[in-house]
Amino acid sequence: MMSVVGGSQMEVLYQVAVSPFCKAFCGLAFCYGSYYLFNRYLGKSSLPPGPRGLPWIGYTPCLGTAALDELASLHKQYGDVVSFKALGNTIVVLNSYQAIQEAAVLNRHKVGRCTLTVNHWLAKGHGISNYDTPRALNLRRALFRHLYGQEEVIDYLTDKNTGCELTRTIKQEIGHLLKTLEETQGTPVLVAPLMRLTAWRIMWRLVFGSTCNMDAEEIIYILQQISSNNMENGVLRISQQLPKCLLHVVDCVKSIQRLLGMDKLAARYDSVCRILNRELDRSDQSAYRPGSLLHRFQKDEKLQVEKEELGRLTFELMAAGTDTSSMTLTWACAYMAENPSHFQEVVGDIQMNNIHRYASVVPLGLPHVARESMTILGYYVPAGATILFNLQAVHEAQMDDREGSATTAIPFSIGSRDCPGSRFANKLLKDIVSAISDRFSVETTDNNIRNQRNADNPDRKSRVSKGLTRGPADGLYIFKVKSD
């Protein structure tokens, strides 16, 4: 009797063992075990240290709105070079000036621009900032050539008093800003819109070569759309890490766009592009002004820029040149209010470096990709890995003097893919901050800045952005005219 029962049980076990379900389960278990062993003893052993996550999905705490907080925790736990997986991608985060310099300078030819999925979905292959293609690199070189080869820009950067239109516009817009602040007569004022208008009108002169005739309300609307996208569309959003081969599915299934928040990003982007394309058409009908960036790009026979590509370039120039600059100027007001003793003399590199460290407007910079495998601080970084420069960590270390006084702030990143407009932006920001500091003492209202930044304050989230950029909390500032 026992042998019969035992035989039945064995047969049942055999049937279960040969069932499709059991085979599939064993196959999955084998694959997971192989994946784990490979990463544990072969793959992960040479990569920088970091947290482990689920197979393919990776380390999910970094994929969300608290990404910067999580990266700060990983920095403390694992050190200056950290790696983890996210949706099949290898992410390497560099948290020190030395690590970033080794990647961006010593390995400059091995580091390129990483193409983010959502940005590619919006840009449709055009532009400079999101691509590492030969076309993008040619456009980048052309931007350097046309921007810094422009006579008006050379005159402005070298302080030649030639009375050129660009310099005249910059002085005029700074003067208008000072007058507006003076007219507040010491009452609290929201500075972000004023900084946006100033930066936009200056960039318009540079890009279009003419005076911007758009209404202030429309300019503010455009820049609010750009700022909202930049502050939401972070590098470590799930949507940015999705394989690009899935974008045709995203295009067809609107519910996926809504679920990932891509529909709102697209709506804002399209609204800005419609307005800029309208202005491009108007400028094209009257011919682009000689000397403007648009004119120089259009007349570049080697490039042969098409209309759609010119539209994307216009967006990148106006968006990048205005949003980050106006944010930096808003942060500058916060810094001046907190540190009035630093602005009793002429504004120089020391004050500007401190403002950039304090602000860290683009905390992770734009993401890079390893074109080839390389070694950074002794750690292996494989080809194809996404490399993030944690500029905020560097700036915080500099403020605490952990990096030493020898290293400068790097708000525009460094290396072969640093911000091409950094020279122009640096001088413009310094001129505006100097003008404000010379004319006014800046004060804050109660509870305005106090809760925005304190290195010892555990509630740092009030200053942390979930996107590409991080702006200060909307604040009111008081501008009191200095006595002569």
Cite the annotated binding site for heme by residue number. 419
Binding residues: 419
- First CA to last CA across the chain, in angstroms? 111
Q: Are 75 and 82 in contact (CB under 8 A)?
A: yes
| Phi, psi at 477, each rounded to 5° | -125, 150
Beta bridge partners of 377: none
Asked whether 289 and 295 are in contact (CB, 8 A), the reply is yes
Site of tokens 């900032």 = 129
The DSSP secondary-structure symbol of 104 reads I
Hey, what long-range contacts does 219-224 have (CB within 8 A, 24 or more apart)? Answer: 220/193, 220/196, 222/272, 222/275, 222/276, 223/196, 223/322, 223/323, 223/326
**Given the DSSP bridges, would you call strands 111-113 and 386-389 parallel, antiparallel or unpaired?**
unpaired
Token code pair at residue 320: 């990048």
Coil, helix or strand for 375? strand
Alpha helix locations (H) across 38-133? 44-46, 67-78, 97-101, 117-123
Q: At what angle do helices 216-232 and 192-208 cross, to 10 degrees?
A: 100
Produce one character per residue of 179-203: b if its CB has 16 or more CB atoms within 10 Å, e if not: eebeebeeeebebbbbbbbbbbbbb
The two structure tokens encoding residue 348: 């120089």
474 in Cβ contact with 447 (< 8 Å): no
Strands 81-86 and 89-94: antiparallel
Lookup: tokens for 477 = 């500032």
The number of helix segments (H) and strand segments (E) in the chain equals 20, 10
What CA–CA distance (Å, rounded) separates 203 from 188? 27
DSSP per residue, 127-179 = SSTT--SHHHHHHHHHHHHHHHT-HHHHHHHTT-----HHHHHHHHHHHHHHH
- Cα–Cα distance list, 160 to 146, 148, 204, 432 (Å): 19, 15, 21, 18
- How many CB atoms within 10 Å of residue 259? 13
Q: What would the two tokens of residue 27 be?
A: 């196959």
